[in-house]
A and B are shown apart, each in its own frame.
Chain A
């Protein structure tokens, strides 16, 4: 990697100031950024580690919402959200491997918005609110395509608020090499309807499958999805699966998520 300065602020305010420099880059758990740096594909002048900010860590239940600090690791979410929001905890507990889960953070994952990441499906599928140092962003407004979000330069995800659904589940089929989702679907049933978010499949990143949401809102059962298909036009086609295969898997994973929802 190239040389860079490294700072590790203790508060969000300090981090925001540090990130005001040109070419400064926030560093969460480093699960994407560190490999990128090692390959010399990025050359920030300064890395601002967010791992020393105590106020950005932890899981708490506030009424009918689970609030997760942006710097909280996947492992912590898997353990501490298990009773309040088991579908979310299960998703976090199946990201990567133990090393990834002990370092990677929810804020890092959502800020990166990899089209094959797991957390975007939970956030979009829960209608979560992404809270930053300066504002609150609804998930429906936050995800803006592959690796693209509503975040401004230097903006930090301080916490994510997940409304707790009645039932939820995450069904994933792993890409054989990376074990990222080849296609994964997060389903959450709320009093006012069902949300279905799909990751891994689309060239446009995570998306809501509105036809499925409508069908499941009327009848929350796997067979309510019978006959529903997604178009393969915008699906990812690569070494690991054709666009048609991914489109097919969206239906399969959605049904499995509904069947598994609790």
Chain B
């Protein structure tokens, strides 16, 4: 029977009441008295030298408050990068400057050149059109391999070339991997592209800057997944504002998907401009701006090779990837193709030798950074696709080939530095076989063929590393930040709790799921617990939400703080009950003395903490409020097996997803309904990448897919009903909840299943196809059939 509360209950999302009835408080809902509006004049040229910016005609236009260009920011820092990668020669990456407004050159379409603050947005835009920018256009570099040619134009004149870094991992394994390939009975090689994506959260980015002249305090309201990170980066590295004079608020945020992790120029601009103009300054991105200013995702070009012995055991894997950084380094960009990608190349398999090479490349395009999955989808995609191709070449069953090579013993130390604590890949594959009714596929294929359609099945596994991450480890790997999480649990006198968390909810359902954990621990109703997040003024320093880390890391911090609360409450209860502390038990919201009928209710204990008339003041302080910081000792390793069935129209190449099944192992589950929702959303984005989404530039650096007229977003219409299961549970061994995280799994596991299914469908018609690059548009699928 399903639980009606606490851990494991499908409690309905309390936040949805305000989201669905228009009662939310999104960043664009924030309007401050006297606010002005900023419009950014953005480059429509991909690469050029700025000769002159003449703002004289614009200055006197109606409503103009102030016009800013790069000169106004001469005294402040540029946008910082939060991760420094060391290359295979032991040298640190090339790290270009990243100005708030274009300085000397423009380097991608959409880069802000000037900013007009005016009384209204329309006036700001009118004035921006009157700014005369004289730019000498330079040849643009768009293709990554072109960018690495010796005669290629340089994106940054002060760097040696367009190579950010050339990363080898694990460099010491390289020779052994080469040797294994020499000895291999079979080698499968696959070249592929992981298509560039635009995250497209429903709510575009917004930033409102405010400055209190009386106190010297700055406030930034922003669409962020991690307000404390923005406060630290912007305060310390960009504007030089001490943290106690800078408050960052990220209220209700309408979706992030990674692209709202990063610190953006517009945030620094409005904070700076609010002081310079002595009034609040607001920026709301248009959807068109979002396409050319939000960090993009993916964009890898990879050659992967799998070596097998005569018994079809995987003996070695090597992969060469070109990873597009865009024109500047976004906040965490360098980590995505390296530590979030190379470390996952073992996948679910006991391949003993692996070597990963990644060349990160500057191009005249929008910066690329983490997008739902961030490196792990790219790793999963290439690995699972090369296994499918190997199965075709060897004439063996692709599922059996996977099973034969599954890791069987845990903990398992991979050859790419990470150690999986738990997992059971046979269990999820067995569960998938059942829920996807793989046994019935051939009958369904015949039925499709009778209707003139080709039908294909794609099955693959995935593993991901979530719960990022042990701070001392990531520090060694180049992170310029810690990756703990924090929680303050404040118990009120009348027994209700407020939990102030450093995690941030922008759709995940924290306000519902987090109270379930505490309700379970104390034995009280979830409605007694409120979650506060998203405001640096009233939450402890936290690292925010990304990498499926909130329940694993933020939830663990909350558990630790609650444990402290319970420990202190037991002391108070022991005093009230005149019993030894060691005899006090907490159950169903009451403290009792073991073996007696003496008890005191939760509310009596909390009241005593704040009205300490009968209270052990000599031993403990009044009050009931505790803070914990939790730093994980390892990543968590969710895994799973996914199956996709498609129909392909022979005449048009159109693909429809007929069935999609996901069997995931997320460890313990707090709220199964929310987990299912996360998986549904992830699969929808994965299907979007596989079939529809494609961020494309022309050779001059013009963005071809700059609106929804050309960038194909998935619609409900494109989705089947998903069959998802998360009953296979191997709990995480190193966090108190045994949880692993579920936010990105769907987006990681689904693209190879879709592509595998289409390839299988085409092969059923006798087409000699082993791979088709994403997105599998009708045009591409038709071309693959010709």
Give the B-binding residues of A (Cβ under 8 A): 39-40, 173, 176-178, 182, 239-242, 245, 248-249, 252
Q: Which of B636-661 contact A (CB under 8 A)?
A: 651-654
User: Which of B225-233, B560-568, B709-717 touches A?
Assistant: B709-717
Contact B778 A177 (CB under 8 A): no
Contact A39 B779 (CB under 8 A): no
Chain B residues whose C-beta falls within 8 Å of the C-beta of A178 in the assembled complex: 708-710
Smallest CB gap from A245: residue in B: B779
14 A-B pairs (CB sep. < 8 Å):
A40-B125, A173-B652, A173-B778, A176-B692, A177-B710, A177-B712, A178-B708, A178-B710, A182-B778, A239-B694, A239-B704, A239-B705, A241-B777, A245-B779
Considering the chains assembled together, what is the distance between the CA atoms of A182 and B651 in angstroms?
A: 14
Most buried by A among B125, B288, B708, B777: B777
Contact B654 A240 (CB under 8 A): no
The answer, yes or no, to whether B68 is at the interface (CB within 8 Å) is no
The answer, yes or no, to whether B782 is at the interface (CB within 8 Å) is yes
- Other-chain contact of B711, A40, A173, A177, A242 (Cβ < 8 Å): A177
Contact A177 B779 (CB under 8 A): no
Chain B residues whose C-beta falls within 8 Å of the C-beta of A240 in the assembled complex: 710, 777, 779
Chain A residues whose C-beta falls within 8 Å of the C-beta of B53 in the assembled complex: none
Chain B residues whose C-beta falls within 8 Å of the C-beta of A177 in the assembled complex: 692, 705, 708-713
- Other-chain contact of B696, A39, A176, A182, A239 (Cβ < 8 Å): A239
The answer, yes or no, to whether B783 is at the interface (CB within 8 Å) is yes
Chain A residues whose C-beta falls within 8 Å of the C-beta of B125 in the assembled complex: 40
Query: A173-B778, A176-B777, A249-B652 in contact; A242/B783 too (CB < 8 A)?
Result: yes
A42 CB → nearest B CB, Å: 14
Chain A residues whose C-beta falls within 8 Å of the C-beta of B705 in the assembled complex: 177, 239
Considering the chains assembled together, what is the distance between the CA atoms of A157 and B710 in angstroms?
A: 30
Query: A177-B708, A177-B709, A177-B713 in contact; A241/B779 too (CB < 8 A)?
Result: yes
Interface size on B, residues (CB 8 A): 24
Considering the chains assembled together, what is the distance between the CA atoms of A1 and B125 in angstroms?
A: 9
Contact A248 B710 (CB under 8 A): no
B628 CB → nearest A CB, Å: 47
Q: Which of B540-590 contact A (CB under 8 A)?
A: none
B692 CB → nearest A CB, Å: 5
Considering the chains assembled together, what is the distance between the CA atoms of A173 and B704 in angstroms?
A: 21
Chain B residues whose C-beta falls within 8 Å of the C-beta of A245 in the assembled complex: 653, 778-779, 782-783
Residue-wise, chain B 768-784 has the 8 Å CB interface mask toward A (1 for contact) of 00000000011100110
Residue-wise, chain B 478-518 has the 8 Å CB interface mask toward A (1 for contact) of 00000000000000000000000000000000000000000
Considering the chains assembled together, what is the distance between the CA atoms of A176 and B778 in angstroms?
A: 9
| Sample of 13 further A-B pairs with CB below 8 A, known A177-B712, A241-B779 | A40-B125, A40-B129, A173-B654, A177-B708, A178-B708, A178-B709, A178-B710, A239-B694, A239-B696, A242-B779, A242-B783, A245-B653, A245-B783
Considering the chains assembled together, what is the distance between the CA atoms of A240 and B121 in angstroms?
A: 35
Chain A residues whose C-beta falls within 8 Å of the C-beta of B653 in the assembled complex: 245
Considering the chains assembled together, what is the distance between the CA atoms of A182 and B712 in angstroms?
A: 13
Considering the chains assembled together, what is the distance between the CA atoms of A42 and B103 in angstroms?
A: 31
A59 CB → nearest B CB, Å: 28
Chain A residues whose C-beta falls within 8 Å of the C-beta of B782 in the assembled complex: 245, 248
Considering the chains assembled together, what is the distance between the CA atoms of A239 and B653 in angstroms?
A: 15
Interface of B (DSSP majority class)? loop
Residue-wise, chain B 389-418 has the 8 Å CB interface mask toward A (1 for contact) of 000000000000000000000000000000
Chain A residues whose C-beta falls within 8 Å of the C-beta of B692 in the assembled complex: 176-177
Contact B783 A239 (CB under 8 A): no
Contact A39 B288 (CB under 8 A): yes
Considering the chains assembled together, what is the distance between the CA atoms of A248 and B704 in angstroms?
A: 24
B444 CB → nearest A CB, Å: 24
Smallest CB gap from A39: residue in B: B288
Chain A residues whose C-beta falls within 8 Å of the C-beta of B777 in the assembled complex: 176, 240-241
**Nearest 7 Cβ contacts at the A-B interface:** A177-B712, A241-B779, A176-B712, A252-B651, A178-B709, A245-B779, A177-B710
A142 CB → nearest B CB, Å: 25
- Other-chain contact of A241, B704, B712, B713, B778 (Cβ < 8 Å): B778
Considering the chains assembled together, what is the distance between the CA atoms of A126 and B374 in angstroms?
A: 52
Smallest CB gap from A255: residue in B: B651
Considering the chains assembled together, what is the distance between the CA atoms of A39 and B696 in angstroms?
A: 21
Residue-wise, chain B 270-291 has the 8 Å CB interface mask toward A (1 for contact) of 0000000000000000001000
Considering the chains assembled together, what is the distance between the CA atoms of A178 and B708 in angstroms?
A: 6
Smallest CB gap from A183: residue in B: B652
A115 CB → nearest B CB, Å: 13
A112 CB → nearest B CB, Å: 14
Chain B residues whose C-beta falls within 8 Å of the C-beta of A248 in the assembled complex: 782
A254 CB → nearest B CB, Å: 11
Smallest CB gap from B653: residue in A: A245
Query: A173-B652, A245-B783, A252-B652 in contact; A239/B710 too (CB < 8 A)?
Result: yes
Q: Which of B677-718 contact A (CB under 8 A)?
A: 691-692, 694, 696, 704-705, 708-713
Chain B residues whose C-beta falls within 8 Å of the C-beta of A242 in the assembled complex: 779, 783
Most buried by B among A39, A176, A249: A176
Considering the chains assembled together, what is the distance between the CA atoms of A249 and B288 in angstroms?
A: 31
Smallest CB gap from B718: residue in A: A176
Smallest CB gap from A246: residue in B: B779
Considering the chains assembled together, what is the distance between the CA atoms of A163 and B339 in angstroms?
A: 67
Most buried by A among B129, B654, B705, B710: B710
Chain A residues whose C-beta falls within 8 Å of the C-beta of B129 in the assembled complex: 40
Q: Which of B729-786 contact A (CB under 8 A)?
A: 777-779, 782-783
Smallest CB gap from B782: residue in A: A245
Considering the chains assembled together, what is the distance between the CA atoms of A242 and B783 in angstroms?
A: 9
A242 CB → nearest B CB, Å: 6
Considering the chains assembled together, what is the distance between the CA atoms of A178 and B779 in angstroms?
A: 15
Most buried by B among A39, A177, A242: A177
Chain B residues whose C-beta falls within 8 Å of the C-beta of A239 in the assembled complex: 694, 696, 704-705, 710
Chain B residues whose C-beta falls within 8 Å of the C-beta of A252 in the assembled complex: 651-652
Chain B residues whose C-beta falls within 8 Å of the C-beta of A182 in the assembled complex: 778
Considering the chains assembled together, what is the distance between the CA atoms of A235 and B247 in angstroms?
A: 56
Considering the chains assembled together, what is the distance between the CA atoms of A236 and B652 in angstroms?
A: 16
Chain A residues whose C-beta falls within 8 Å of the C-beta of B779 in the assembled complex: 240-242, 245
B344 CB → nearest A CB, Å: 30
Chain A residues whose C-beta falls within 8 Å of the C-beta of B708 in the assembled complex: 177-178
Most buried by B among A173, A239, A252: A239
Considering the chains assembled together, what is the distance between the CA atoms of A245 and B630 in angstroms?
A: 56
Chain B residues whose C-beta falls within 8 Å of the C-beta of A39 in the assembled complex: 288
Chain B residues whose C-beta falls within 8 Å of the C-beta of A173 in the assembled complex: 652, 654, 778
Smallest CB gap from B692: residue in A: A176
Chain A residues whose C-beta falls within 8 Å of the C-beta of B778 in the assembled complex: 173, 176, 182, 241, 245
Considering the chains assembled together, what is the distance between the CA atoms of A220 and B288 in angstroms?
A: 47
Chain A residues whose C-beta falls within 8 Å of the C-beta of B711 in the assembled complex: 177
A119 CB → nearest B CB, Å: 18
B61 CB → nearest A CB, Å: 14
A248 CB → nearest B CB, Å: 7
A39 CB → nearest B CB, Å: 7
B754 CB → nearest A CB, Å: 14
Smallest CB gap from B713: residue in A: A177
Smallest CB gap from A237: residue in B: B779
Considering the chains assembled together, what is the distance between the CA atoms of A40 and B39 in angstroms?
A: 14
Smallest CB gap from B126: residue in A: A2
B414 CB → nearest A CB, Å: 38
Considering the chains assembled together, what is the distance between the CA atoms of A245 and B780 in angstroms?
A: 9
Chain B residues whose C-beta falls within 8 Å of the C-beta of A176 in the assembled complex: 691-692, 712, 777-778
Considering the chains assembled together, what is the distance between the CA atoms of A241 and B654 in angstroms?
A: 12
Chain B residues whose C-beta falls within 8 Å of the C-beta of A40 in the assembled complex: 125, 129
Chain B residues whose C-beta falls within 8 Å of the C-beta of A249 in the assembled complex: 652
Considering the chains assembled together, what is the distance between the CA atoms of A176 and B783 in angstroms?
A: 16
Most buried by A among B694, B705, B709, B713: B709
Smallest CB gap from B714: residue in A: A176
Considering the chains assembled together, what is the distance between the CA atoms of A182 and B710 in angstroms?
A: 12
Considering the chains assembled together, what is the distance between the CA atoms of A178 and B653 in angstroms?
A: 18
A61 CB → nearest B CB, Å: 33
Considering the chains assembled together, what is the distance between the CA atoms of A242 and B780 in angstroms?
A: 9
